[in-house]
Structure 1
């Protein structure tokens, strides 16, 4: 299934899923046909350096679950470029996993298909209760006023990572706190084959996250209070232009970054090709790429002026991964046992420790490993200056059309074509028309 018509796809899936639910699931392998109470299928998202890295991290925990419950978990790690399409196809066909990871920004969109098991009071009670989870993480589990479509598994936030040696060589004493400071520092760092800031201009998810936060900092949004798209609002246009201008006019980002789509900015930062990086919990992946903890520092993502906070001072989204159950699983009891296991205090400490993320389970955050400088910055961001992406049914379509719009704008910047307020507005207007289509 191509993602160019996800609005229509979700509408069709909603009808198809209702039929599947009414008939009690399919008969093929997967969530519709897995009638073995001692087996579960699990789709995990790619959180580590690569798919094999995730398998190595998850397999010992799944073996632990099997030893405790007698339930074997069949694991498949799915890369981010394929995950949403795979989920939508599974929702339509009834053939998929029993349990799966979803990006928390998709919660309301996937909830709208009716394919996911609602975590009502009974299902939440089966995994220990709603009160165990951090409120901001629960805010990204589905539309307001509805039972969550999933529960938080890993919490993430953006931070500004900087190369200490490159900063010292450039005579920069402290990380920037405002965007004007970041641009000034970026220009000092740019030259000799190095650049100030690494980005991923062809990564739809990264584009969306940054566009949304920049729009918020300009007092704008991409949806109104009723969930209707407002892509050409002045704040949205100004925010997108400021982000693309790092390459287009500020010249602190390499033109080649316009083609980066999956972790290449991490590679460049780790190799000393870029002095700064905006990323979610990068520490573990930087270590995997040979960078020592003393080589880099972290600071809050800059704001227009002042200090991070709420309103126009937000500097990160409530990022993270949620754990969901397909409604027509034939092994609901086993699936809920697995969710309870994965969100237990012990596993939250282990798994989030492996990935460098933050436990969305409150009691697990007290572990000392989540008090290092990186985790402290990220936790404070989530607590004080984060905002959830819109929990509306059209959110996944928003990612599908606005992400490529930014990719096109970065391509213009890389080719030396002017990126103006008018050209940004036209790209966003086209994206909004695609939503309507």
Structure 2
């Protein structure tokens, strides 16, 4: 998923419970499931993928007009920032007032399936979208709870990568991108000084924090849930993982204290302006170009791993990220919504949209084309060889919010000059674990 940002920790469980009790979905109908009472209209909630909401409207507008000309169905578009998207979806699930089709972060699929808000895509429904076999198995695996009927199909696939500023690296005498975290910290210290820093992070973004916590924990041989789905947030490996990430500000000091409040792509802007020499991000190319960089000014490499002597699952350096496309259960244009899903995941549209946004197409035929640039080449390799899915549990989105918020508080401690220790990290994660169990 890309940039999942929300402060809905307290409201999340309540909203899902209400949705379960009411059985509501989207559209304007109030019961009886999906219908076709408005066959010539669709409302589409798109997540913010480009450099701005207006950029997305310019990208998607012509494609929606193309769909209307083919089908006679007019699509009303609303692009929603990630800071509001989950809250909007949960409110729609509980009220019954929502879109017909919407983008969701792929890690939300299990949680939203639990709410009952999304249309289950059984074999008949999937056939109307073009069929399951068109999609990459790894991407399709994140479309709902294991063993259950999927509630979405993949739209954009993503992985994290390390972006590095070539000019800054040359000026600092650094030969190439770091391959281990020890090398990254060493490079970061060379790049830090005179008001500039080695790395930009977004410590004020809970869900961005949780993504890195997951990857760092994997490299420490740890998970945030046990085999039965019980939270293990404050286990030793998770504590070390979170401290390692927060230490970019607290201990290593290769990221600015102000990064503790960063969210909404502020780290991307700092990197583009040369204020930071490195960036851990998903499909940054379009955003870097929008912020004034030119092709060739940055390099891209896999996210570093721990040194060979450190142990853990060293090979995992990204979550399986991406955006899914779903239909609200109570849409009043079920057939049109499924036709729209088929259109958006067609090979031609996939190539156009993923090339524009710098993401990877989850459609197998679209993947047959050579990588368009080094960014996609790296992401394809990471997705195939060294990524792992986030916990496939019904309350996954709650995990992201609770752990990410605990990390946000730890970053705030670091920025204020308070010591961040393993004990303080364990305490914050323990508090998050208690909230997860409620």
Q: TM-score range by the shorter chain?
A: over 0.9
The question of 1:407 aligning with 2:408 is answered yes
Please give the alpha-carbon distance, in whole angstroms, between the structure 2 residues aligned to 1:38 and 1:405.
46
TM, length-normalised to structure 2? 0.95
Which of 13, 16, 20 pairs up with 1:14? 20
Please give the alpha-carbon distance, in whole angstroms, between the structure 2 residues aligned to 1:5 and 1:430.
17
Task: Work out whether residues 32 and 94 of structure 1, in 8 Å CA contact, stay in contact via their aligned partners in 2.
Answer: no
Task: Work out whether residues 27 and 330 of structure 2, in 8 Å CA contact, stay in contact via their aligned partners in 1.
Answer: yes
Per the TM alignment, residue 288 of structure 1 is displaced from its structure 2 partner at its CA by 0.8
Please give the alpha-carbon distance, in whole angstroms, between the structure 2 residues aligned to 1:127 and 1:306.
45
The question of 1:314 aligning with 2:316 is answered yes
Question: What do the CA deviations read for 1:314-366 (whole angstroms, capped 9, x no partner)?
Answer: 00011110000011111110000000000000000011011010000011012
Q: 1:327 to 1:190 in 2, by over 3 A?
A: same
Match of 2:126 in 1: 124
Task: Work out whether residues 211 and 400 of structure 2, in 8 Å CA contact, stay in contact via their aligned partners in 1.
Answer: no
Match of 1:262 in 2: 264
Task: Work out whether residues 210 and 401 of structure 2, in 8 Å CA contact, stay in contact via their aligned partners in 1.
Answer: no
Please give the alpha-carbon distance, in whole angstroms, between the structure 2 residues aligned to 1:68 and 1:406.
48
Please give the alpha-carbon distance, in whole angstroms, between the structure 1 residues aligned to 2:110 and 2:227.
15
Q: 1:306 to 1:348 in 2, by over 3 A?
A: farther
Q: 1:430 to 1:71 in 2, by over 3 A?
A: same
3-state DSSP class of the match of 1:294?
Answer: coil
Task: Work out whether residues 26 and 33 of structure 1, in 8 Å CA contact, stay in contact via their aligned partners in 2.
Answer: no
Match of 2:70 in 1: 68
Match of 2:373 in 1: 372
Task: Work out whether residues 7 and 435 of structure 1, in 8 Å CA contact, stay in contact via their aligned partners in 2.
Answer: no
Q: 1:59 to 1:26 in 2, by over 3 A?
A: closer
3-state DSSP class of the match of 1:145?
Answer: coil
Task: Work out whether residues 162 and 300 of structure 2, in 8 Å CA contact, stay in contact via their aligned partners in 1.
Answer: yes
Question: What do the CA deviations read for 1:29-75 (whole angstroms, capped 9, x no partner)?
Answer: xx989832001000000011111111011000000000010000000
1:25-424 superposed matches below 5 A? 26-27=28-29, 35-306=37-308, 311-368=313-370, 370-424=371-425
Residues 387-396 or 262-271, more deviating: 387-396
3-state DSSP class of the match of 2:377?
Answer: helix
In structure 1, runs of 5+ residues without a counterpart are none
Match of 2:11 in 1: 5
Please give the alpha-carbon distance, in whole angstroms, between the structure 2 residues aligned to 1:204 and 1:48.
21
In structure 2, runs of 5+ residues without a counterpart are 1-6
Please give the alpha-carbon distance, in whole angstroms, between the structure 2 residues aligned to 1:121 and 1:103.
23
Match of 2:436 in 1: 435
Per the TM alignment, residue 25 of structure 1 is displaced from its structure 2 partner at its CA by 7.5
Q: 1:26 to 1:374 in 2, by over 3 A?
A: closer
Q: 1:271 to 1:241 in 2, by over 3 A?
A: same
Task: Work out whether residues 166 and 275 of structure 1, in 8 Å CA contact, stay in contact via their aligned partners in 2.
Answer: yes
Please give the alpha-carbon distance, in whole angstroms, between the structure 1 residues aligned to 2:368 and 2:107.
26
Please give the alpha-carbon distance, in whole angstroms, between the structure 1 residues aligned to 2:263 and 2:427.
23
Please give the alpha-carbon distance, in whole angstroms, between the structure 1 residues aligned to 2:163 and 2:181.
14
Q: CA RMSD in A?
A: 1.9
Per the TM alignment, residue 304 of structure 1 is displaced from its structure 2 partner at its CA by 0.1
3-state DSSP class of the match of 2:223?
Answer: coil
Residues 370-379 or 4-13, more deviating: 4-13
Please give the alpha-carbon distance, in whole angstroms, between the structure 2 residues aligned to 1:284 and 1:9.
34
Question: What do the CA deviations read for 1:354-393 (whole angstroms, capped 9, x no partner)?
Answer: 101000001101234x341110000100000001111211
